[in-house]
Chain A
Amino acid sequence: MNTPTEAPTAHTLSRLAPQQRLNAEVALVRGWTGLVVGYRRFNSLEETVEGYPPHRRGGARNTVPDYVGDPATWGTLMLEEGVWVEPMLDRNGSIDSWLGHYRGGTGHMTARVHSLGVSLCCAVLAKYGIPDLNSLLEGL
């Protein structure tokens, strides 16, 4: 049974839109804990699917950043999490997709995806040991 101090777990994110789910996962591994909507605190993210759910981080309450879609968050992820991206080229030499990298051992890479923002998020999650990235990427 969840207690009010427990952070939402991965399986409770299933009802969120794919981008919201990924953003919430990244927020959680980056130290965001309790979910707060208005003045009420919830133990899971199932109870809100509109917009980006507010989270509580430390003593502050903020809106979860759009790590996936807002380029203004990408630099922060790279700087604070030490992740980076590498482009994959198609036959014409154009950028086709991106690999996310994180520093671990010899410098691991994550799934090849079409979005730079998604690749950075994947790298952050992989860095923190989130095992099942494929389910998080469904629908993106």
Chain B
Amino acid sequence: MLGTEAPASPDLSSLTPRQRLNIAVALTQGFGWLTAEDDDEPHSIWKLDNEGGPPWDLVNTKGELAAWTYSGSALLRIPDSTVALPDYAGDPAAWGALMEKESDVWAEPLFHSGEGQRQVWQGCWMNPDKVLPATVGDFDQPGRAVCAAVLTKHGIDPTPYIGE
């Protein structure tokens, strides 16, 4: 296998569902590089390949699959700056800002009348054909619904990141 190839099935077992979702959304927002907070060695800088490959194709600067060591303190780098990975899924400030930045993404509640008015959220975004909004999912949190809508809008199937 060439060193620049990313394995088809990288091990993401060490990531929590929320971390996976946050990383996937970060890719759609222009984040490109990941580094661990406590390791400044060059090999600890991972490239997130979002050009053609699925977002979980993580290769390091040697072209090897990153032995993923992401933790909540990991940093993602956007051009010329380094910022902490936002908690898009869980932080209302992050997914509120996401709604603003994407401008045509929002979350709507669904009320299930036959189930004691149980409320769930669906993610919504404007279809390119601009006839009807597209909806995705049935989520317990509006933040996850917004994230799923953003991924769908950018052509990414949110299923692997949302989980069951």
- A contacts, CB < 8 Å to B: 71-80, 82, 84-87, 89, 92-95, 103, 107, 116
Contact = CB atoms under 8 A, between A and B. Distances in A.
22 contacts: A71-B96, A71-B97, A72-B97, A74-B92, A75-B93, A75-B99, A75-B143, A76-B92, A76-B93, A76-B96, A78-B96, A78-B142, A79-B92, A79-B143, A85-B106, A86-B106, A89-B130, A92-B130, A93-B130, A94-B130, A95-B104, A103-B109
A25 B100 CA distance: 22
Contacts of B97: 71-72, 74-75
A75 B92 contact: yes
Interface string B75-111: 0000000000000000111111101110110111101
B133 interface: yes
A86 B126 CA distance: 12
A78 B93 CA distance: 10
B129 interface: yes
A93 B129 contact: yes
Interface of B: 91-97, 99-101, 103-104, 106-109, 111, 126, 129-131, 133, 142-143
Contacts of A84: 106-109, 142
Given A87-B106, A107-B111, 17 more contacts: A71-B96, A71-B97, A72-B93, A72-B97, A73-B96, A74-B96, A74-B99, A75-B92, A75-B96, A76-B92, A77-B96, A80-B92, A82-B109, A84-B106, A84-B142, A87-B126, A116-B99
A24 to B, nearest CB: 20
B102 to A, nearest CB: 10
Nearest to B129: A93
A18 to B, nearest CB: 19
Chain A to chain B: the 5 pairs with minimum beta-carbon distance, closest first? A93-B130, A75-B92, A75-B96, A71-B100, A74-B96
B143 to A, nearest CB: 7
Nearest to A87: B106
B107 A78 contact: yes
A65 to B, nearest CB: 10
A86 B109 CA distance: 10
> Of residues B99, B126, B133, which shows the largest number of chain A Cβ atoms within 10 Å of its Cβ?
B99
Contacts of A103: 109
Given A93-B129, A93-B131, A116-B100, A79 B142 contact: yes
A87 B104 CA distance: 8
A92 B108 CA distance: 22
A75 to B, nearest CB: 3
B103 to A, nearest CB: 7
A74 B100 contact: yes
A75 B142 contact: yes
Contacts of A116: 99-100, 106
